[in-house]
Amino acid sequence: MAAYPALIPNQKGAEVLDSDNPAEAARQGMVTGQSNGMDMIRSGKIQVRQPPIQQDLETGNDVWSDCKGA
């Protein structure tokens, strides 16, 4: 979706995006030489969502059964 662009996690990828599609690089805030989303992650302004903690099989089955029964 245009509203939710993915961040490019490395400098080379950002450079390619900036050279191939400067308008999209600007829209995503990934212009070479400017502050970008990766800088915000490093500084703590954006936090990467952690995956859920693995639960035991019985708990997972109980949740699934409750979901199916709802």
pLDDT in tens, 7-47: 777 888 888 988 999 998 888 888 888 888 778 888 988 88
Q: Name every residue whose Cβ is closer than 8 Å to that of residue 28 and which is 6 or more positions away in sequence.
A: 5, 7, 8, 17, 37
What does the pLDDT read at residue 2? 62
Instruction: Please indicate whether residue 50 or residue 43 has the higher confidence score (pLDDT).
Output: 43
Any idea where the domains of the chain sit in the sequence? 11-69
Q: Give the H or E element holding residue 23.
A: helix 22-28
Say how many residues make up the chain.
70
Nearest-angstrom CA–CA distance, 19 and 5 = 17
- Confirm if 15 and 45 have CB atoms less than 8 A apart: no
